[in-house]
Structure 1
Amino acid sequence: MARGTGQGGARRRMMVLGFTGGALGGHLGGWRHRDSFPTTTMQLQCMVEMARIAERGQLDMMFLADGNGVRQMDKPALFAANSPSDRPAVFEPVTLFAALAQHTSKIGLVATATTTYEEPFSIARKFASLDHLSGGRAGWNLVTTQYVEDAKNFGRDEHMGRVERYERAHESLDVVRALWDSWATDAFPQDKATGQYLDPARVRLTQHRGTHFAVKGPLNVARTPQGQPVVFMAGQSEAGKELAAYGGEGLFGTASSKAQAQKEYADIKGRMPKYGRPPDALKILPALSVFVGRTRAEADALYEELQSLIAPSLAVSYLSKLVGFDLTDAPLDGPMPASPGESVGGTAIGRSVLEMAAREGLSVRGTYERVLPSMGGNMVKGDPVEIADMMEDWYTGKACDGFMLSMPVQPRSLRDFVELVVPELQRRGLRPPDYRGTTLRENMGLPIPADPFLH
């Protein structure tokens, strides 16, 4: 595509943009860079600053991944260096977003909660509460948990198998949505003259009894400003794709190339009609690590600085974590090994990395050099026009509905994206000049779920 063509023009459909809100930054060496936050452990002000920068750039959402344990203690080098995806000391995300909701007014707040180790009633209650506290900006990232050791924090000796995890996730999603529909929109008249606070006819029991859960209901939270919080997912195994087609509204993509992204996009959207859902009811957002500079030379310099902060031994440890098996004894310049088998906690990102390495004939060193800048996702590097060209190409080529952005150095990279790239996307008509509404659903172009009491 020619530089700065602006071929997008005015659209009713807009590119959806979110960013991963970890204060460490999205590169393994990001926290060491001179332009990073001085300290990040349990620092609310870092999170507030990022949320405000992103809201100034009209980004649709801030996303927080999460885990339920301290990871990598058996890998001393990686544990000490603190990979951005390990999070040994972070706020519980829904609690954090309740605080950030008081410092922002438009940006969506998407937090992770696992169906493997959390009960549907608790999930429904805390995300409904967040939707009220934020004025309709809550999103739930539904995960089944891939980290095997987390099981031991919840009274289990072994992690649940993939099939059982996805069966439980499917049932949990149904129960959570039924609980969110407990009350009619007009269930609380609060009429001081008559003394009627609520209408008993406008509430219903959930009365769910299934394979994994028994939930009477109703939920003790009123119907939320969005009707229901937005549901996000990340898995792209066969079970993950099917669950996303069935009930996802946002999907974090893991494809390692545009061609693969287009294939996944068509596959997942093609599954939706059998569930009575139009394709645009699900927004697919691949991960994208952005190295932007005012010039290409400035972007290259940032990239090289960050790469120089990572020793090969640390890079191999991180790559081993990502693909799910130990690469310590593999020759650095030998071919990237294939997976020894399907792991209980394997991830779509890990599989995507292995497919990329095999497709391109990469060595172990070549694989980690590709993976480290993007932490397993996709990467773009250059000046604002080059960044926007790549994003427009994927978006108009039906490879995605937008992107989940990873910022290598926080807060510098987020600020640079907002100041340099967002205006270019707006000029092309790919992003609106301001937020389209006050809720996350409005800004993502998603409908409000019907109130079953009214329809």
Structure 2
Amino acid sequence: MPSRTLTLNLFLHHVGHHEAAWRHPSTRPGALFSPDYYVDLAQRAEAAKLDAVFFADGPVLHGGVEHNAVGTLEPILTLATIAARTERIGLIATASTTYYEPYNLARLFGTLDHVSGGRAGWNIVTTSSADASANFGLDAHPDPAVRYERAEEFLQAITRLWDSWEADAVVLDREAGRYADPARIHPAAFEGSHLRVGGPLNLARSPQGRPVLVQAGASNAGRDFAARWAEAIFTAHQRIEDAQAFYADVKEGARRHGRNPGPVKILPGISPFIGSTEAEARNLEREFNELTVPEYGLRQLGGQAGVDLSGLELDEPVPVEIFADAGDVTDNSRSRFQVVAGIVQRERPTLRQLLHRLAGARGHRVVVGTPEQVADTITEWFTQGAADGFNVMPPALPAGLEAFTEHVVPILQQRGLFRTEYAGRTLRDHLGLDVPENRYTAARLAAAVPELTHA
């Protein structure tokens, strides 16, 4: 197998990523609040040797609950349950830097890394939903610039907390009565404009040193944040050329920040409708689209792209001029708006067609075809500088996951692009990432090296 291999995560999302999946007879919407449902999906993904399962989340009940199954369990607790019943698969959860504090989130993810044996990952978000503010006693949702300022401080603080115990802090000297060496335990002592954190953490250094850091922002601010901090980046693209531009931009951004861009994983979403023939796959997609509720799709479109098309008839063309201010690739401040604008400009759909186009994966790439065609798309993007792997977003769960793992994964394995067995036990092992250096250990060792003197 070549040194560079695909990263494949299962994106856990309700009963599937198509908005009408809950109405399809292949799904079980009544199981959404059962941990066994998610354990079963994770076990299936682990059997296929996928890198991780990923839980998106937000601290708010999103609108549209009348027409879609949008509630979900809290992800970190759910992943801890999954950890107890799996052995290798990575466990990535979303948590907000706007609505958590560094200390409690450091404990939560540190604990998940301990109980899973080093399989935790954190998808860092700043939360875009303005409705979340009322759930935390705030008068208003902070604007994007403030949210990213806080996120920057949050990462500085939380990484200090994860480093606060050096790897050899616990000495366990029973004879001398010494459990730990206080000289190896350090306060975070962080103070910024938005956050103050004392520390140290009341939890020893975890197996991975810290969870894998994941980020999903595509705006200019999000890209720069990812280039500084992220070890894996989730993104959404419709066309390979757009994905290639994003890939090159983020890798170069990592280089500008003094990082090695090679290990940074760029992972677009892909939502495959899979059939034994292309016609069968297209019929499956049509079957799901016919179950959509336009009212729900319009609400989603308004929330994601910030555009109101409710005054249009469903079978009228979507006016191109509505998207005239979408901007170009140099202005990514409204990234999801740009995705929708690109579809409208290229395809000139009716409103119904646009809603169907977005129903499958909220702007992520939907591929409809045979297992070979899906594998060909993955291979092309992977080998042509557009992706290091994918977040797999089955339209329906578990059926779409079964189709992908049973029919697409073997093709990728035959091509030498994906593992047939796990080589390690941690998420960092799967992704080819090193354990981060502990800042305090590094400083102590550097201070212990005598300075070179010159005659």
TM over 0.5, shorter chain: yes
Question: What residue is the counterpart of 2:139 in the other structure?
Answer: 157
Q: Which moved more, 1:305-314 or 1:159-168?
A: 305-314
Match for residue 5 of structure 1? none
Q: Deviations over 1:360-417 (max 9, x none)?
A: 4333233222211222100111111111100000000000110011111111111111
Q: Report how far residue 294 of structure 1 moved.
A: 3.1
Q: Which residue of 2 aligns with 1:383?
A: 370
**What's the offset of the Cα at 1:347?**
6.1
Alignment of 1:103-114 (within 5 A): 103-114=85-96
Aligned 8 A contact 2:237 2:363 in 1: no
Is the contact between residue 61 and residue 107 of structure 1 (CA under 8 Å) also seen in structure 2? Answer: yes
Measured in 2, the distance between the counterparts of 1:56 and 1:109 equals 15
Residues of 1 paired with 2:420 and 2:75: CA distance?
29
The correspondence for 2:161, drawn from 179, 183, 203, is 179
1:334 aligns with 2:317: yes
Paired residues in the alignment total 434
Report what 1:55 is aligned to. 46
Give the match for residue 289 of structure 1: 271
Runs of 4 or more consecutive aligned structure 1 residues displaced over 4 Å after TM superposition: 339-342
RMSD: 1.8
The amino acid across from 1:425 in the alignment is L
1:206, 1:216 within 8 Å by CA — same for their partners in 2? yes
8 Å CA contact retained: 1:148, 1:158: yes
Q: 1:189 is paired with a residue of what secondary structure?
A: strand
Distance 2:164 2:289 in 1: 51
2:345 aligned partner? 358
Describe the superposition over 1:56-107 as per-residue Cα deviations: whole angstroms up to 9, x where unpaired.
Answer: 01110111111112221xxxxx331126xxx33x211111111110011111
**Mean CA deviation greater in 274-283 or 165-174:** 274-283
Q: Is the 8 A contact 2:22 2:68 kept in 1?
A: no
Instruction: State the Cα distance separating 1:336 from its structure 2 match.
Output: 4.2
- Bigger mean CA deviation after superposition, 323-332 or 409-418: 323-332
Deviations 1:321-377, CA, capped at 9 Å, x for gaps: 3312322112332324635989xxx86334322233234433323322221122210
CA contact (8 A) 2:20 2:68 kept: no
Structure 1 stretch displaced more, 393-402 or 368-377? 368-377
Distance 1:328 1:254, change over 3 A: same
Q: SS state of the match for residue 211, structure 1?
A: coil
Instruction: Tell me how far apart the structure 2 counterparts of residues 95 and 206 of structure 1 sit (CA, whole Å).
Output: 26
Aligned to 2:397: 410
2:452 is matched with none
For 1:112 and 1:149, the matched residues in 2 are separated by 18
How far off is 1:453 after superposition? 4.2
**Equivalent position of 2:173 in the other structure:** 191
Confirm whether residue 443 of structure 1 aligns to residue 430 of structure 2. yes
Q: 1:32 and 2:28 equivalent? A: no
Q: Partner letter of residue 113 of structure 2?
A: D
Query: Are 1:349 and 2:336 counterparts?
Result: yes
2:64 is equivalent to residue 82 of structure 1 = no
Match of 2:108 among 96, 117, 126: 126
Letter in 2 for 1:176: I
Secondary structure of the corresponding residue to residue 17 of structure 1: strand
| Cα distance between partner residues in 2 of 1:225 and 1:336 | 53
Please give the alpha-carbon distance, in whole angstroms, between the structure 2 residues aligned to 1:264 and 1:283.
12
- Aligned counterparts, 1:148-297, within 5 A: 148-297=130-279
Residues 4-43 of structure 1 correspond to what in structure 2 (within 5 A)?
A: 10-37=1-28, 39-43=30-34
Change (3 A) 1:350 1:61: farther
CA distance in 1, matches of 2:413, 2:82: 26
Answer whether contact 1:121 1:176 (CA < 8 A) is retained.
Answer: yes
Q: Distance in 2 between matches of 1:215 and 1:192?
A: 32
TM-score (norm 2): 0.91
The superposition leaves residues 87-130 of structure 1 with CA deviations (integer Å, 9 ceiling, x where unpaired) of 33x21111111111001111111001101111111111110110
Partner Cα separation in structure 2 for residue 382 and residue 248 of structure 1: 33
* Residues 67 and 293, structure 2, Cα contact 8 Å, conserved in 1: no
Cα distance in structure 2, aligned partners of 1:16 and 1:305: 30
Counterpart of 1:99, as a letter, is T
Distance in 2 separating the partners of 1:69 and 1:180: 28
Gap runs ≥5 in structure 1: 1-9, 73-77
Q: Specify the code of the residue in structure 2 equivalent to 1:17.
A: L
Percentage of matched positions with identical amino acids: 39
